[in-house]
């Protein structure tokens, strides 16, 4: 992430000394930027209640470290010419993994902790509150389905797999109220909060917050991405608790990925009969990349270590190469298995070094701010014995848009013990490509209002809907827009017991 010297200097106030050497000049300027930030953070801490200051001080120290690294970065973190070919054993094929014997499963599960990233809001789909409480199937929410899955595991194998939710200050209060309803379930639920960092003014590089009361000015603060998991999990004391209980691994995933269920074959490779002589400290589930996944992270070998490569790290002239399905075959699902004592070690030794994601935003009042974030998968290079496992696409079923919601609500999937399983009636395993226009289908309420019921899509290949379209109930309609063709259905059109195919536009007269 290169920033020209003059731009950096404009952002720093109060600098007096002007050394002659430009490199030394820039170093002094960076030190001043850090010093000014620390001064502002010290003032912010004074506004906090005395009992909150120790934990806030710890949090702000992490932010200062992140900001300091941000100032020091000069150019891309990857030298493209140093990317090595993936070693043969770097990515295992899921189909080669063996299932464990039933009598070993309880022992394996009792070494596991399930963690769900639960910091996001449903605002992008027009919902209020945590995204995890959006109904996605049979009036069940992401959280309901997750609890069902783990309870089924615990009951089936007489195990005690706990569920841990990493909340943010945006989702914590609502989530704490919601999880009370699971008290009678056979699942122990724990929560902890990820960090709350101050947004930085893009011009001055100083916090825009005036005091530590987050609720008073919520726009001045942000949760710094899921890479914050490692430190906050350890600081919550949950990591120590689980290690003391004899647990060895956590399985971490986004709560909106309905395909991210506990997989016994992968667990067998980590703690069962199939485990390797040298423990695997970090597993990233990847799946075959398609043209729809061109912006997603991929795996590379770099400086003799396996690591995640994100599009933000790619030089502009190499972006097309990065997007190539032939060159980079795998796509990161963000389903991660990590060894608990290894997490403790890298946090304790301060050897976590995740690439910084610079997220530029403009607030409602027009103020331009910077958020510094990290991604959980970027820590892969900091662990020993990391591997990838190439899993079926069924383990990557995220719901980011209403077009994803359309798929998971349809008859394409059957619900079984909280898990979505593709219908055996579908003749091929690929998921249909569905694109619903943002203007009329982008929000959940609008989306539901435009479908009297979700149509039968067992044989669907590709559906694109744009414009003011409402779907009625009943009948069988088959719409086939072959590759390169387009079908536009206008407002008010009624299609019942029809087959529409080819390349055509139905126009109002």
**CATH 2.160.10.10-classified regions of the chain:** 402-502
Residue that wins the pLDDT comparison between 203 and 348: 348
Residue 278 labelled as part of a binding site:
no
**CATH 3.90.550.10-classified regions of the chain:** 80-193+224-395
Give the pLDDT confidence of 421-447 residue by residue, as tens digits: 999 999 887 888 888 988 889 999 998
Distance from C-alpha of 41 to C-alpha of 80, rounded to nearest angstrom: 37
pLDDT score, position 278: 85
Q: Which residue out of 104, 305, 329, 400 is catalytically annotated?
A: 400
pLDDT score, position 430: 82
Distance from C-alpha of 334 to C-alpha of 343, rounded to nearest angstrom: 17
User: Is residue 400 flagged as an active site residue?
Assistant: yes
Give the pLDDT confidence of 43-95 residue by residue, as tens digits: 988 888 888 888 889 899 999 999 999 888 766 678 888 988 888 889 999 99
Residue 501 has pLDDT above 70, yes or no: no
User: Mean pLDDT throughout 447-460?
Assistant: 86
Residue 30 has pLDDT above 70, yes or no: yes
Residue 343 has pLDDT above 50, yes or no: yes
Residue 502 has pLDDT above 80, yes or no: no
- At residue 245, the 3 state secondary structure works out as coil
Sorting pLDDT into bands at 50, 70 and 90, what band is 481? low
pLDDT score, position 11: 43
pLDDT score, position 479: 67
Share of the chain above pLDDT 90, in %: 52
Q: Does the CA dihedral 118-121-125-129 come out positive or negative?
A: positive
Sorting pLDDT into bands at 50, 70 and 90, what band is 364? confident
Supply the pTM of this predicted model. Answer: 0.87
Residue 98 labelled as part of a binding site:
no
Evaluate whether 367 touches 385 at the Cβ level (below 8 Å).
Answer: no
Share of the chain above pLDDT 70, in %: 87
Sorting pLDDT into bands at 50, 70 and 90, what band is 508? low
Distances from the Cα of 400 to the Cα of 17, 20, 172, 444, 496, angstroms: 49, 52, 20, 11, 30
Share the mean pLDDT of the chain: 86
Fold (CATH) for 402-502: UDP N-Acetylglucosamine Acyltransferase; domain 1 (2.160.10)
Residue that wins the pLDDT comparison between 4 and 327: 327
Residue 225 labelled as part of a binding site:
yes
Residue 462 labelled as part of a binding site:
no
Distance from C-alpha of 228 to C-alpha of 223, rounded to nearest angstrom: 9
Evaluate whether 364 touches 219 at the Cβ level (below 8 Å).
Answer: yes
User: Mean pLDDT throughout 399-405?
Assistant: 91
Fold (CATH) for 80-193+224-395: Spore Coat Polysaccharide Biosynthesis Protein SpsA; Chain A (3.90.550)
Residue 337 has pLDDT above 60, yes or no: yes
User: Mean pLDDT throughout 137-147?
Assistant: 93
User: Mean pLDDT throughout 250-274?
Assistant: 95
pLDDT score, position 8: 45
Q: Residue holding tokens 């946090």?
A: 347
Instruction: Choose the weakest-confidence range: 72-81, 208-217, 298-307, 479-488.
Output: 479-488
Distance from C-alpha of 245 to C-alpha of 226, rounded to nearest angstrom: 25
């Amino acid at each position: 992430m290169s920033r020209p010297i003059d731009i950096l200097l404009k952002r720093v106030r109060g600098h007096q000394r002007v050394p002659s050497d430009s490199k030394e000049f820039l170093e002094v300027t960076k030190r001043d930027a850090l010093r000014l930030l620390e001064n502002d953070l010290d003032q912010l801490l004074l506004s906090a209640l005395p009992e909150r200051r120790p934990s806030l001080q710890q949090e702000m120290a992490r932010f200062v470290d992140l900001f300091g690294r941000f100032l020091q970065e000069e150019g891309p973190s990857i030298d493209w010419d140093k990317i090595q070919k993936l070693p043969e054993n770097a990515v295992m094929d899921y189909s080669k993994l063996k299932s464990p014997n039933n009598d070993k499963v309880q022992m394996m599960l009792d070494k596991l902790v399930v963690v769900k990233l639960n910091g996001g809001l449903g605002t992008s789909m027009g919902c209020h509150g945590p995204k995890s409480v959006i109904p996605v199937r049979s009036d069940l929410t992401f959280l309901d389905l997750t609890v069902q899955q783990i309870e089924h595991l615990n009951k089936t194998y007489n195990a005690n797999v706990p569920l841990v939710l990493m909340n943010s200050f945006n989702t914590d209060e609502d989530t704490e109220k919601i999880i009370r309803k699971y008290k009678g379930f056979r699942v122990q639920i724990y929560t902890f909060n990820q960090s709350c960092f101050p947004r930085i003014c893009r011009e001055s590089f100083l916090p825009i917050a005036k005091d530590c009361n987050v609720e008073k000015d919520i726009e001045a603060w942000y949760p710094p991405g899921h890479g914050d998991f490692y430190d906050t999990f350890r600081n919550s004391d949950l990591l120590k608790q689980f290690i003391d209980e004899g647990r060895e691994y956590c399985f971490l995933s986004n709560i909106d990925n309905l395909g991210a269920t506990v997989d016994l074959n992968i667990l067998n490779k980590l703690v069962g009969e199939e485990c390797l002589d040298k423990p695997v400290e970090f597993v990233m589930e990847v799946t075959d990349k398609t043209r729809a996944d061109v912006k997603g992270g991929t795996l590379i070998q770099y400086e003799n270590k396996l690591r995640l490569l994100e599009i933000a790290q790619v030089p502009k002239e190499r972006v097309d190469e990065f997007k190539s399905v032939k060159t980079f075959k795998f796509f990161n699902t963000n389903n991660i298995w990590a060894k608990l004592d290894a997490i403790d070690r890298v946090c304790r030794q301060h050897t976590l070094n995740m690439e910084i994601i610079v997220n530029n935003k403009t607030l409602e009042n027009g103020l331009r701010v910077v958020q510094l974030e990290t991604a959980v998968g970027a820590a892969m290079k900091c662990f020993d014995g990391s591997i990838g496992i190439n899993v079926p696409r069924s383990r990557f079923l995220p719901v980011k848009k209403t077009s994803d919601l359309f798929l998971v609500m349809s008859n394409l999937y059957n619900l079984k013990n909280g898990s979505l399983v593709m219908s055996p009636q579908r003749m091929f395993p690929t998921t249909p490509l569905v694109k619903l226009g943002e203007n009329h289908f982008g929000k959940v309420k609008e989306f539901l209002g435009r479908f009297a019921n979700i149509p039968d899509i067992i044989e669907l290949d590709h559906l694109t809907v744009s414009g003011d379209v409402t779907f009625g109930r009943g009948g069988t309609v088959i719409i086939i827009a072959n590759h390169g063709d387009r079908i536009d259905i206008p407002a008010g059109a009624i299609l019942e017991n029809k087959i529409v195919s080819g390349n055509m536009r139905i126009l109002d007269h």
